[in-house]
Amino acid sequence: MSFRPIVAAACAALMLSSCSSLSYYTQAAQGQLELLTDSRPIDAWLADPATNPKLRHRLESARQIRRFAIQELKLPDNGSYTHFTNLKRPYVLWNVVATPELSLKPMQWCFPVAGCVNYRGYYSKAAAQAYAKQLRAQGHDVEVGGVSAYSTLGWFSDPLISTFINYPDAELARLIIHELAHQVVYVQGDSKFNESFASAVELAGVEAWLERFGNPAMVESFERYTERKRDFMALLVRYRGELEKTYASKMSKDEKRATKARLFMALKDDYQVLKANWGGYSGYDRFFAEPLSNAHLASIATYNDFVPAFRALLRKERTWPAFYKSVKQIAKLDKADRHRVLERLAAPAATSPLVVQRTMGEDTIGGR
């Protein structure tokens, strides 16, 4: 199937937009087109004697994970993850996140399908950095972060990509399950709901997958991964809280700037302590590749807030189809009512594990 008519129609519909908007949507359409047209069916890769043995093994693992997600977790059975694309870059795209100098409230960009989100994605790192430069010139704090995977919410058949295919099996399962979950239900403009739901499905799904296919070494490795992730997120949440208190205080702007600088320095120092406790594990070093800014912490949104609620709902409903049916009913409520329902559900499950879907070091973006 040719995707060029789809892209051409999308670009034509955007002719009423500004030139900058048209340019942005054009690069997005071209990037998606490249991702799809360069893909080949997994069966073709496996049948090709020239396929690298390591890649062959990873594709077989991904196919088994997808089959489990569909059969056991009742996730959508469509063309997603039936093809593989070998990209010549480390990330599929780069997200730009921006905030004011003395605020953690991220800028928002609104799109026809995804609704309003707190990032702007580019398929070229240079293009992302160029846009980030414009935002910095306007006085904003900015972060440019690589993204290994994302979901098109079922609009296209999302392929497996070289940017994440070499993840260990449990992490690969986590990513595939999370992205397929976004295709079950998605509410425009409610990232907390969307990401918490997908993260809850991911968490329960990987637990079930490890019980079926895992061995002690895999379980131990994934537990270490989860513990490091939880520790790192707790560190970021703590400093985010300190910055929020600073910006809400009656300090002068100069005092807030000075406190901000001290807090970011302390964050880097505390990370080194955490890293030493991990035995020198450096998987999150990339988070500190650019000078720290509000944007780094603004993108660590409270996507975990409703994970306990969804976990409680899954226990209550007992089966995946019943759970998805209930989630879809909640999704129909207006945002305030939707959140109130989830807050009530979360009360008895406050100790559920922390799960964050975000790209930094070893992590990936939950289908933004």
Q: What is the mean pLDDT of the chain?
A: 87
How far apart CA 98 and CA 143 sit, in angstroms, is: 6
Per-residue pLDDT for 322 more than 50?
A: yes
* 269-295 pLDDT per residue, tens: 999 999 999 999 999 999 998 899 999
In the chain, where the domains are located:
38-368
Q: Which residue has better confidence, 155 or 95?
A: 95
Query: Given the structure tokens 């970011």, which residue do they identify?
Result: 264
Per-residue pLDDT for 11 more than 90?
A: no
Q: What was the pLDDT predicted at 154?
A: 85
Q: What was the pLDDT predicted at 189?
A: 82
Per-residue pLDDT for 70 more than 60?
A: yes
Q: For a pLDDT cut of 70, what percent of the chain falls above it?
A: 88
* 146-186 pLDDT per residue, tens: 999 988 888 889 999 999 999 999 999 999 999 999 999 99
Q: 273-291: string of b/e by CB count within 10 Å (b at 16+)?
A: ebbeebeebebbeebbeee
* 177-212 pLDDT per residue, tens: 999 999 999 998 888 899 999 999 999 999 999 999
Q: What was the pLDDT predicted at 367?
A: 39
Mean pLDDT of the region 53-77: 97
Q: Which residue has better confidence, 63 or 113?
A: 63
Note the residue count of the chain: 368
For 288: left if phi > 0, alpha if psi spans -120 to 50, otherwise beta; the answer is alpha
